[in-house]
Homo-oligomer: A and B are copies of this chain.
Amino acid sequence: MQTGSRIDNIQEFTQICREHRLKITPQRIAIYRELLNSDTHPAADTIYQILKKEYTNISFDTVNRTLLTFAKIGIVEVVETFGGAKRFDPNVTNHHHIHCSQCGKILDFYSRAYDKLAVPDGVYEQFQVVSKRVILKGICKDCRQ
């Protein structure tokens, strides 16, 4: 099942970068900070659009490659989507997702009952299960007006 805890501050972030021998660049800090500031699991381009206002020189590639690097070292997760661009989540603790089918936003929610679900026997025989998540789909408050 999912392990590890959410990194809430930039100090912890730089510490983890050092452990993985990743250089700490202003871009990496800014990208990680934007990820923490958002709660809708942004795509690379969403983060790029925000950051290029502040850092006129930043490139989409850096944002995208950095997010993939973060995923590789386990501080962000690529979340499930139904087509379209990859979406990223800085929350690597045990949690679940709800997708709005209208506006595409993805929100986290928590449920002890969901966390406690056992993996069915038939699955255990076929798969070595690594993670478990409940995905809800629906229409959010904003989209219902």
CB<8 Å pairs between A and B, sample of 17? A78-B83, A80-B82, A81-B81, A98-B123, A98-B127, A101-B130, A107-B126, A110-B120, A111-B120, A117-B117, A119-B136, A126-B141, A130-B137, A130-B138, A131-B138, A132-B136, A132-B137
CA distance A94 to B52 in the complex (A): 44
Instruction: Tell me if A33 counts as interface (CB < 8 A to partner B).
Output: no
Residues facing B in A114-135 (CB within 8 A) are 114, 117-120, 122-123, 126-135
CA distance A132 to B132 in the complex (A): 13
- Asked whether A134 and B132 contact (CB < 8 A) given A82-B81, A83-B86, A114-B117, the answer is yes
For A125, the closest partner residue in chain B by CB is B141
- Asked whether A128 and B133 contact (CB < 8 A) given A81-B82, A82-B79, A109-B120, the answer is no
CB contact between A123 and one of B109, B119, B127, B139 (< 8 Å): that residue = B109
Contacts of A81 in B (CB 8 A): 80-83
Contacts of A130 in B (CB 8 A): 101, 137-139
